Amino acid sequence: RMVTSPVRKLEVAAKQIENHEFAVELDDVGYRDEIKDLASSFTEMARQLKSLYEGLEAKVDLRTAQIKE
């Protein structure tokens, strides 16, 4: 059970990202060592995906506006 809870939190966070909900924070999964490191990496990945996704949306909006001109 000690491993199941943090892994479950990672699963829920993965589903959030799948639904473009990038505000995922997993810094406190209640476990140490490898799972905590994995959770930190996962949180950083979510932050980077959010940034990339927002940047892409901005580029699409800009290009769409240029085409309409």
User: Per-residue DSSP letters for 5-68?
Assistant: HHHHHHHHHHHHHHTT------S--S--THHHHHHHHHHHHHHHHHHHHHHHHHHHHHHHHHHH
Please report the pLDDT score of residue 38 as a whole number.
83
The pLDDT score that the predictor gives to residue 27 is: 66
Total-model pTM: 0.64
pLDDT above 70 for 26: yes
**What is the rounded CA–CA span in Å between residue 45 and residue 42?**
5
Q: What is the pLDDT, as a whole number, of residue 30?
A: 62
31-50: pLDDT as tens digits: 567 777 888 888 888 889 99
pLDDT at 56 exceeding the cut of 70: yes
